[in-house]
Amino acid sequence: MRVLYVSPMKYGSNAGVDALGQGLRSRLADAGLDLRVITADFRAPGWPGNSDEAVAAGVAAGVDAVVVWVIDPDHPAAGAAAARRAGIPLISLEKPRFEVDAAIVYPNFNHGVYMAEHLATLLEPGADVALIGGPDVVDDIELIAGITLGLRQSGLRLVNDPEDPRYKNSSDVAAGGREKARNILADFPRLAGLIPYNDETMLGTLDALREAGRMGEVKMVSRNGTPAAVAAVLAGDHHGTWDLDIPGIGQAVADLVIRRLVGGEDLDGLCLASPIGRMITPERALTWVPWEERIEYQPLIEGLD
Protein backbone atom coordinates (compact mmCIF):
# COMPACT_ATOMS: atom_id res chain seq x y z
CA MET A 1 0.00 0.00 0.00
CA ARG A 2 1.13 3.53 -0.81
CA VAL A 3 0.86 6.57 1.44
CA LEU A 4 1.18 10.04 -0.05
CA TYR A 5 2.85 12.70 2.10
CA VAL A 6 2.25 16.30 1.01
CA SER A 7 5.33 18.11 2.32
CA PRO A 8 5.39 21.89 2.81
CA MET A 9 9.05 22.28 1.81
CA LYS A 10 11.46 20.61 -0.58
CA TYR A 11 13.69 18.00 1.03
CA GLY A 12 17.01 19.52 2.03
CA SER A 13 15.74 23.05 2.66
CA ASN A 14 14.82 22.63 6.34
CA ALA A 15 16.39 20.07 8.68
CA GLY A 16 13.27 19.73 10.82
CA VAL A 17 10.97 19.09 7.87
CA ASP A 18 13.47 16.51 6.60
CA ALA A 19 13.57 14.71 9.96
CA LEU A 20 9.80 14.55 10.22
CA GLY A 21 9.62 12.97 6.76
CA GLN A 22 12.23 10.41 7.79
CA GLY A 23 10.32 9.54 10.96
CA LEU A 24 7.16 9.07 8.92
CA ARG A 25 8.92 6.95 6.29
CA SER A 26 10.71 4.70 8.77
CA ARG A 27 7.64 3.84 10.85
CA LEU A 28 5.51 3.21 7.74
CA ALA A 29 8.25 0.99 6.31
CA ASP A 30 8.26 -1.08 9.52
CA ALA A 31 4.56 -1.78 8.85
CA GLY A 32 5.14 -2.64 5.17
CA LEU A 33 3.74 0.63 3.81
CA ASP A 34 5.47 2.65 1.08
CA LEU A 35 5.78 6.43 1.35
CA ARG A 36 5.58 8.75 -1.66
CA VAL A 37 6.17 12.51 -1.43
CA ILE A 38 4.82 15.49 -3.33
CA THR A 39 6.10 18.90 -2.25
CA ALA A 40 3.58 21.75 -2.10
CA ASP A 41 5.89 24.55 -0.98
CA PHE A 42 3.98 27.12 1.06
CA ARG A 43 6.43 29.82 -0.10
CA ALA A 44 5.78 29.15 -3.80
CA PRO A 45 3.57 31.39 -5.96
CA GLY A 46 1.12 28.51 -6.51
CA TRP A 47 0.31 28.03 -2.83
CA PRO A 48 -2.22 27.07 -1.45
CA GLY A 49 -3.58 25.67 -4.70
CA ASN A 50 -0.54 23.44 -5.07
CA SER A 51 -1.53 21.58 -1.88
CA ASP A 52 -4.99 20.80 -3.28
CA GLU A 53 -3.37 19.70 -6.54
CA ALA A 54 -1.00 17.37 -4.67
CA VAL A 55 -3.83 15.65 -2.80
CA ALA A 56 -5.86 15.42 -6.01
CA ALA A 57 -2.90 13.74 -7.73
CA GLY A 58 -2.82 11.16 -4.96
CA VAL A 59 -6.55 10.53 -5.30
CA ALA A 60 -6.19 10.09 -9.06
CA ALA A 61 -3.29 7.67 -8.56
CA GLY A 62 -5.30 5.60 -6.10
CA VAL A 63 -3.04 5.95 -3.06
CA ASP A 64 -4.25 4.20 0.07
CA ALA A 65 -3.88 7.17 2.44
CA VAL A 66 -2.79 10.81 2.41
CA VAL A 67 -0.75 12.68 5.03
CA VAL A 68 -0.81 16.46 4.75
CA TRP A 69 1.11 19.04 6.78
CA VAL A 70 -1.42 21.79 7.50
CA ILE A 71 0.11 25.23 6.99
CA ASP A 72 -3.15 27.19 6.85
CA PRO A 73 -6.12 25.63 8.70
CA ASP A 74 -8.37 26.24 5.67
CA HIS A 75 -6.20 24.34 3.17
CA PRO A 76 -6.19 21.93 1.40
CA ALA A 77 -9.95 21.66 2.00
CA ALA A 78 -10.82 20.86 -1.62
CA GLY A 79 -8.20 18.12 -1.85
CA ALA A 80 -9.30 16.66 1.48
CA ALA A 81 -12.93 16.56 0.35
CA ALA A 82 -11.90 14.73 -2.84
CA ALA A 83 -9.94 12.17 -0.81
CA ARG A 84 -12.86 11.55 1.51
CA ARG A 85 -15.27 11.14 -1.41
CA ALA A 86 -12.90 8.52 -2.81
CA GLY A 87 -12.76 6.72 0.55
CA ILE A 88 -9.07 7.55 1.01
CA PRO A 89 -8.12 8.27 4.66
CA LEU A 90 -6.49 11.64 5.28
CA ILE A 91 -4.27 12.23 8.33
CA SER A 92 -3.01 15.73 9.07
CA LEU A 93 -0.14 17.36 10.92
CA GLU A 94 -2.02 20.00 12.94
CA LYS A 95 -5.82 20.05 13.02
CA PRO A 96 -7.45 21.91 10.12
CA ARG A 97 -10.91 23.47 9.96
CA PHE A 98 -12.13 20.79 7.54
CA GLU A 99 -12.79 17.11 8.18
CA VAL A 100 -9.89 14.66 8.37
CA ASP A 101 -9.75 11.12 9.68
CA ALA A 102 -7.27 12.04 12.40
CA ALA A 103 -4.61 14.61 13.30
CA ILE A 104 -1.40 14.98 15.26
CA VAL A 105 -1.35 18.31 17.09
CA TYR A 106 1.81 20.01 18.35
CA PRO A 107 1.81 21.64 21.83
CA ASN A 108 3.21 24.80 20.23
CA PHE A 109 1.93 27.20 22.86
CA ASN A 110 3.52 25.17 25.64
CA HIS A 111 6.83 25.11 23.78
CA GLY A 112 6.79 28.89 23.60
CA VAL A 113 6.04 29.34 27.28
CA TYR A 114 8.79 26.93 28.29
CA MET A 115 11.33 28.61 25.98
CA ALA A 116 10.64 32.00 27.56
CA GLU A 117 10.81 30.53 31.06
CA HIS A 118 14.21 29.00 30.33
CA LEU A 119 15.52 32.29 28.96
CA ALA A 120 14.32 34.03 32.13
CA THR A 121 16.63 31.80 34.19
CA LEU A 122 19.59 33.27 32.27
CA LEU A 123 18.66 36.96 32.55
CA GLU A 124 17.99 39.60 35.16
CA PRO A 125 14.32 40.39 35.94
CA GLY A 126 12.92 43.01 33.58
CA ALA A 127 15.61 42.45 30.95
CA ASP A 128 14.96 43.58 27.37
CA VAL A 129 14.29 40.74 24.92
CA ALA A 130 13.59 40.80 21.19
CA LEU A 131 11.63 38.10 19.34
CA ILE A 132 12.03 37.20 15.67
CA GLY A 133 8.68 35.89 14.45
CA GLY A 134 7.95 33.33 11.77
CA PRO A 135 5.65 32.77 8.80
CA ASP A 136 1.87 32.75 9.06
CA VAL A 137 1.79 29.01 9.72
CA VAL A 138 -0.58 27.62 12.32
CA ASP A 139 2.10 26.03 14.52
CA ASP A 140 4.39 29.07 14.41
CA ILE A 141 1.52 31.44 15.21
CA GLU A 142 0.75 29.41 18.33
CA LEU A 143 4.45 29.24 19.24
CA ILE A 144 4.84 33.03 19.10
CA ALA A 145 1.74 33.46 21.26
CA GLY A 146 3.24 31.11 23.86
CA ILE A 147 6.61 32.88 23.82
CA THR A 148 4.92 36.25 24.25
CA LEU A 149 2.90 35.06 27.24
CA GLY A 150 5.92 33.30 28.73
CA LEU A 151 8.01 36.46 28.53
CA ARG A 152 5.32 38.49 30.27
CA GLN A 153 4.77 35.91 33.00
CA SER A 154 8.52 35.58 33.54
CA GLY A 155 8.99 39.30 34.06
CA LEU A 156 10.98 39.96 30.88
CA ARG A 157 10.31 42.94 28.60
CA LEU A 158 9.51 42.27 24.93
CA VAL A 159 10.82 45.29 23.03
CA ASN A 160 9.51 44.60 19.50
CA ASP A 161 6.44 43.37 17.65
CA PRO A 162 7.29 39.91 16.21
CA GLU A 163 4.50 40.36 13.63
CA ASP A 164 6.15 43.46 12.18
CA PRO A 165 7.55 42.44 8.75
CA ARG A 166 10.86 44.05 9.73
CA TYR A 167 11.30 41.37 12.42
CA LYS A 168 9.33 38.47 10.92
CA ASN A 169 11.20 35.66 9.13
CA SER A 170 8.47 34.59 6.73
CA SER A 171 10.99 32.65 4.62
CA ASP A 172 11.55 30.08 7.42
CA VAL A 173 15.22 29.67 6.41
CA ALA A 174 18.55 30.88 7.80
CA ALA A 175 19.07 33.63 5.20
CA GLY A 176 15.81 35.25 6.26
CA GLY A 177 16.83 34.95 9.89
CA ARG A 178 20.07 36.77 9.18
CA GLU A 179 18.18 39.64 7.52
CA LYS A 180 15.69 40.03 10.36
CA ALA A 181 18.38 39.72 13.02
CA ARG A 182 20.30 42.53 11.34
CA ASN A 183 17.20 44.69 11.71
CA ILE A 184 16.81 43.73 15.37
CA LEU A 185 20.46 44.53 16.14
CA ALA A 186 20.21 47.89 14.36
CA ASP A 187 17.00 48.92 16.10
CA PHE A 188 17.76 47.59 19.62
CA PRO A 189 21.46 48.01 20.44
CA ARG A 190 21.22 47.07 24.13
CA LEU A 191 19.40 43.76 24.23
CA ALA A 192 19.95 41.19 26.96
CA GLY A 193 18.04 38.38 25.26
CA LEU A 194 16.95 37.31 21.79
CA ILE A 195 14.53 34.58 20.70
CA PRO A 196 14.74 33.53 17.04
CA TYR A 197 11.54 31.47 16.84
CA ASN A 198 13.23 28.42 15.30
CA ASP A 199 16.68 26.96 14.79
CA GLU A 200 17.00 27.93 11.12
CA THR A 201 16.33 31.55 12.09
CA MET A 202 18.81 31.21 14.96
CA LEU A 203 21.58 30.09 12.61
CA GLY A 204 21.03 33.20 10.52
CA THR A 205 21.00 35.26 13.71
CA LEU A 206 24.43 33.90 14.65
CA ASP A 207 25.70 35.08 11.25
CA ALA A 208 24.29 38.55 11.91
CA LEU A 209 25.87 38.69 15.36
CA ARG A 210 29.26 37.70 13.93
CA GLU A 211 28.99 40.30 11.18
CA ALA A 212 28.19 42.99 13.75
CA GLY A 213 30.98 41.91 16.10
CA ARG A 214 28.38 41.31 18.83
CA MET A 215 28.78 37.62 19.57
CA GLY A 216 28.27 36.91 23.26
CA GLU A 217 26.20 40.04 23.94
CA VAL A 218 22.81 38.32 24.18
CA LYS A 219 21.38 35.10 25.57
CA MET A 220 19.33 33.17 23.01
CA VAL A 221 16.86 30.28 22.86
CA SER A 222 15.06 28.78 19.85
CA ARG A 223 12.98 25.75 18.93
CA ASN A 224 13.43 22.48 17.01
CA GLY A 225 16.47 20.74 18.47
CA THR A 226 18.26 20.47 15.13
CA PRO A 227 21.80 19.07 15.02
CA ALA A 228 23.24 22.44 14.00
CA ALA A 229 21.53 24.17 16.92
CA VAL A 230 22.78 21.58 19.40
CA ALA A 231 26.28 22.06 18.01
CA ALA A 232 25.92 25.80 18.62
CA VAL A 233 24.86 25.10 22.21
CA LEU A 234 27.91 22.89 22.71
CA ALA A 235 30.13 25.61 21.24
CA GLY A 236 28.75 28.16 23.72
CA ASP A 237 27.23 30.31 20.95
CA HIS A 238 23.63 29.42 21.79
CA HIS A 239 21.88 28.90 25.12
CA GLY A 240 19.13 26.38 24.44
CA THR A 241 17.05 24.77 21.71
CA TRP A 242 13.71 23.13 22.44
CA ASP A 243 13.89 19.61 21.02
CA LEU A 244 10.31 18.66 20.15
CA ASP A 245 11.45 15.23 18.85
CA ILE A 246 10.66 15.93 15.20
CA PRO A 247 11.35 12.34 14.05
CA GLY A 248 8.94 11.25 16.80
CA ILE A 249 6.27 13.54 15.36
CA GLY A 250 6.62 11.78 12.00
CA GLN A 251 6.39 8.42 13.73
CA ALA A 252 3.26 9.50 15.62
CA VAL A 253 1.58 10.44 12.32
CA ALA A 254 2.63 7.11 10.85
CA ASP A 255 1.09 5.30 13.81
CA LEU A 256 -2.28 6.86 12.99
CA VAL A 257 -1.95 5.79 9.35
CA ILE A 258 -1.07 2.26 10.45
CA ARG A 259 -4.03 2.11 12.82
CA ARG A 260 -6.30 3.04 9.92
CA LEU A 261 -4.79 1.00 7.08
CA VAL A 262 -3.40 -2.04 8.86
CA GLY A 263 -5.65 -2.17 11.90
CA GLY A 264 -8.80 -1.12 10.07
CA GLU A 265 -9.69 1.29 12.87
CA ASP A 266 -12.19 4.08 12.27
CA LEU A 267 -10.29 6.98 13.81
CA ASP A 268 -13.36 9.26 13.62
CA GLY A 269 -11.55 12.61 13.82
CA LEU A 270 -9.16 11.58 16.60
CA CYS A 271 -6.56 14.20 17.63
CA LEU A 272 -3.41 13.20 19.48
CA ALA A 273 -0.59 15.40 20.80
CA SER A 274 2.93 14.97 19.53
CA PRO A 275 5.85 14.58 21.98
CA ILE A 276 6.32 17.77 24.00
CA GLY A 277 10.10 17.47 24.20
CA ARG A 278 12.72 19.24 26.34
CA MET A 279 15.14 22.14 26.34
CA ILE A 280 18.61 21.13 25.19
CA THR A 281 20.95 22.99 27.53
CA PRO A 282 24.76 22.78 27.44
CA GLU A 283 24.56 19.92 29.95
CA ARG A 284 21.93 17.96 28.02
CA ALA A 285 23.72 18.57 24.74
CA LEU A 286 26.48 16.27 25.96
CA THR A 287 24.12 13.26 25.87
CA TRP A 288 21.81 14.39 23.05
CA VAL A 289 21.33 11.73 20.37
CA PRO A 290 21.32 13.08 16.78
CA TRP A 291 18.18 12.44 14.76
CA GLU A 292 19.95 10.30 12.17
CA GLU A 293 21.07 8.01 14.99
CA ARG A 294 17.51 7.67 16.32
CA ILE A 295 16.24 6.56 12.91
CA GLU A 296 17.94 5.44 9.72
CA TYR A 297 17.83 8.15 7.06
CA GLN A 298 16.97 6.91 3.57
CA PRO A 299 16.03 8.76 0.35
CA LEU A 300 12.38 9.85 0.22
CA ILE A 301 10.68 8.86 -3.03
CA GLU A 302 9.30 11.88 -4.88
CA GLY A 303 6.23 11.39 -7.06
CA LEU A 304 3.68 8.62 -7.34
CA ASP A 305 5.35 6.29 -9.88
The 3-state secondary structure of the chain, one letter per residue: CEEEEEECCCCCCCHHHHHHHHHHHHHHHHCCCEEEEEECCCCCCCCCHHHHHHHHHHHHHCCCEEEEECCCCCCCHHHHHHHHHCCCCEEEECCCCCCCCEEEECCHHHHHHHHHHHHHCCCCCCCEEEEEECCCCHHHHHHHHHHHHHHHHCCCEECCCCCCHHHECCCCCHHHHHHHHHHHHHHCCCCCEEEECCHHHHHHHHHHHHHHCCCCCCEECEECCCHHHHHHHHCCCCCCEEECCHHHHHHHHHHHHHHHHCCCCCCCCEEEECCCCEEECHHHHCCCCCHHHHCCCCCCCECCC
Average pLDDT over residues 73-91: 96
pLDDT of 172 above 90: no
Say if strands 102-105 and 157-158 run parallel, antiparallel, or are unpaired: unpaired
Are the C-beta atoms of residues 77 and 44 closer than 8 Å to each other?
no
Domains of the chain: 2-106+245-276 (3.40.50.2300), 108-243 (3.40.50.2300)
Name the amino acid, one letter, at 107. P
> Which is higher by pLDDT, 172 or 287?
287
Q: What is the pLDDT of residue 275?
A: 87
What is the DSSP secondary structure assignment for residue 290, as one 8-state letter?
P
The pLDDT confidence band at residue 111, using thresholds 50, 70 and 90, is very high
Q: What is the pLDDT of residue 200?
A: 94
Q: What percent of the chain has pLDDT over 90?
A: 91
> How far apart are the C-alpha atoms of 69 and 61, rounded to whole Å?
20
pTM listed for this prediction = 0.88
Average pLDDT over residues 112-136: 97
Q: What is the pLDDT of residue 94?
A: 94
pLDDT of 137 above 90: no
Report phi then psi at 280, rounded to 5. Answer: -90, 105
The pLDDT confidence band at residue 147, using thresholds 50, 70 and 90, is very high
Averaged confidence pLDDT in the chain: 95
> How far apart are the C-alpha atoms of 223 and 288, rounded to whole Å?
15
> How far apart are the C-alpha atoms of 245 and 255, rounded to whole Å?
15
